[in-house]
Amino acid sequence: MYNITLIEGDGIGPEISKSVVEIIKKANVEINWDKQQAGKLALEKYGSVLPSNTIESIKKNRVCLKAPITTPIGYGFKSVNVQLRQLFDLYANIRPSKNLPNIKTPFEDVDLVVIRENTEDIYAGLEEKIDENTIHGIKLITKKGCERICDFAFQYAIKNNRKEVCAVSKANISKLADGMFLDCFRELAKKYSEIKTREILIDNLCMQLVVNPSQFDVMVMPNLYGDIASDLCAGLIGGLGVAQSANIGKDCAVFEAVHGSAPDIAGKNTANPTGLLRSAIMMLEYIGEKEKAKKIELALFETLKEGKYLTPDLKGSATTEEFTNEIIKKLTV
Ligand code: NAI
């Protein structure tokens, strides 16, 4: 029995969490879900977007599945995601993008992974007002941060039978910060001689990705470039609704869909649970349930391929429940 923190979120969060919990249960993985709150609901109930109960639960369980939450509008709220990443030092964000069965996109051979540094860069939140018309924002990059994310990318490539790691930067302009990132990448590359390496500037990467994405394999980059490039990559495979992500630290991990709480469709039983389900599949692999993870993925792919029960965002007319039941039906446990 695994103890895992579950943040059901708000908006479509509870609907898609219910779907994912049901599928995992039917796959016979025994999980004791420790339900906690974050975001708008937590603010209303506990006066904090990230209450201490939630933090304690993740500290104890070391693994968390997080559905989307609404960020309250207004000043004074630090993003829950950024807080979680910094509190638990979840330094590596993994965002795989691979074509899905029956989801038509301009390219048919996309299979790439963005490894994004998750704790530094402008997300360190170091901004100051110099005067009414001038803001000073700091891009914080450390050698330790560069080394561990590049090392993570090479390790990921080896574990997942990948051939190449490409370092993405803007080192022609950010000579010191991105320059250090590249130096660390080159130094680590010597240790992993079995993996091919490549370097590219972020602007050229964006152009190349929308022209010929199949030339890329694993890419590693500082936080801001990774934030933007990973959403672009999600677009290559069908959009945010189907994209998954993992935030990994030394001994703690948070898995989440990349989309938001979709208030426009909340409560309508039409949300697509695929993004959260694929994040949960990454979670099952992380805790060692690789076989069950594969079975769930196969059932999901089979449901997408058949195309009879798809949610409206995938041009179908099925409800979240119908889509979920179809996946459960196809599970071979
Ligand atoms: P959003 O991702 O919630 O929605 C954008 C569009 O995509 C909407 O039309 C929505 O209906 C659709 N969509 C998103 N997920 C879908 C799904 N699973 N199935 C079907 N359609 C889906 O982005 P938006 O509207 O900018 O943000 C809404 C709230 O979510 C905001 O408060 C934002 O701060 C928050 N947010 C939270 C995130 C998180 O918790 N990880 C990530 C991004 C935004």
Ligand 1 contact, 85 CB (< 6 A): no
Ligand 1 contact, 319 CB (< 6 A): no
Ligand 1 contact, 40 CB (< 6 A): no
Ligand 1 midpoint to CA 163 (Å): 34
- Does residue 17 carry a pLDDT above 90? yes
Query: Which three-class secondary structure state does DSSP give residue 31?
Result: strand
Reported as a pLDDT band with limits 50, 70 and 90, residue 288 is very high
Closest C-alpha to 195, from 166, 220, 165: 165
Among 103, 231, 261, 300, residue to substitute to test ligand 1 (most atoms within 8 Å of Cβ)? 261
- Does residue 73 carry a pLDDT above 80? no
CATH tag for 1-90+243-333 (out of 4.10.80.400, 3.40.50.970, 3.40.718.10, 2.60.40.3140): 3.40.718.10
CA–CA distance from 238 to each of 36, 47, 274, 302 (Å)?
A: 30, 37, 11, 17
For atom 22 of ligand 1, which residue has the closest CA? 241
Task: Measure the CA–CA gap between 53 and 313, rounded to whole angstroms.
Answer: 35
Whole-number pLDDT of residue 254: 98
Ligand 1 contact, 320 CB (< 6 A): no
Q: Quote the strand ranges of the chain, DSSP E.
A: 2-7, 31-36, 63-66, 92-98, 111-117, 127-131, 134-137, 164-169, 196-201, 218-221, 244-248, 253-257
Decide if domain 106-236 falls under CATH 3.40.718.10. yes
Ligand 1 contact, 262 CB (< 6 A): yes
Task: Measure the CA–CA gap between 301 and 303, rounded to whole angstroms.
Answer: 5
Is residue 1 within 8 A of residue 31, CB to CB? The reply is yes
Mean pLDDT of 214-226: 97
Ligand 1 atom index nearest CA of 312: 20
Chain segment 83-92, per-residue pLDDT in tens: 899 899 999 9
Ligand 1 contact, 272 CB (< 6 A): yes
Q: What are the residue boundaries of the structural domains of the chain, listed by start?
A: 1-90+243-333, 106-236
Kindly report whether the global pTM for this prediction surpasses the value 0.75.
yes
Reported as a pLDDT band with limits 50, 70 and 90, residue 142 is very high
Ligand 1 midpoint to CA 148 (Å): 31
Mean pLDDT of 106-116: 96
Ligand 1 contact, 265 CB (< 6 A): yes
Ligand 1 contact, 271 CB (< 6 A): yes
CA-based torsion, 71, 94, 183, 210: positive or negative: negative
Q: Percentage of the chain surpassing pLDDT 90?
A: 87
Whole-number pLDDT of residue 145: 97
Ligand 1 atom index nearest CA of 72: 32
Task: Measure the CA–CA gap between 233 and 218, rounded to whole angstroms.
Answer: 12
Ligand 1 contact, 313 CB (< 6 A): yes
Chain segment 289-316, per-residue pLDDT in tens: 999 999 999 999 999 999 999 999 998 9
- Does residue 237 carry a pLDDT above 90? yes
Ligand 1 contact, 247 CB (< 6 A): no
Task: Measure the CA–CA gap between 247 and 117, rounded to whole angstroms.
Answer: 10
Task: Measure the CA–CA gap between 149 and 167, rounded to whole angstroms.
Answer: 11
Fold agreement (1-90+243-333, 106-236):
yes
Ligand 1 midpoint to CA 241 (Å): 8
> How would you write 114-152 as a 3-class SS string?
EEEECCCEHHHCCEEEEECCEEEECCECCHHHHHHHHHH
How confident is the prediction for the chain on average, in pLDDT?
94
Closest C-alpha to 119, from 80, 153, 90: 90
Reported as a pLDDT band with limits 50, 70 and 90, residue 333 is low
Mean pLDDT of 257-280: 95
Ligand 1 contact, 119 CB (< 6 A): no
Query: What single-letter DSSP state applies at residue 258?
Result: S
For atom 37 of ligand 1, which residue has the closest CA? 260
Q: Percentage of the chain surpassing pLDDT 70?
A: 98
User: Considering only 6-20, 114-128, 167-181, 211-225, which range has the smallest mean pLDDT?
Assistant: 114-128
Among 259, 274, 319, residue to substitute to test ligand 1 (most atoms within 8 Å of Cβ)? 259
- Does residue 76 carry a pLDDT above 70? no
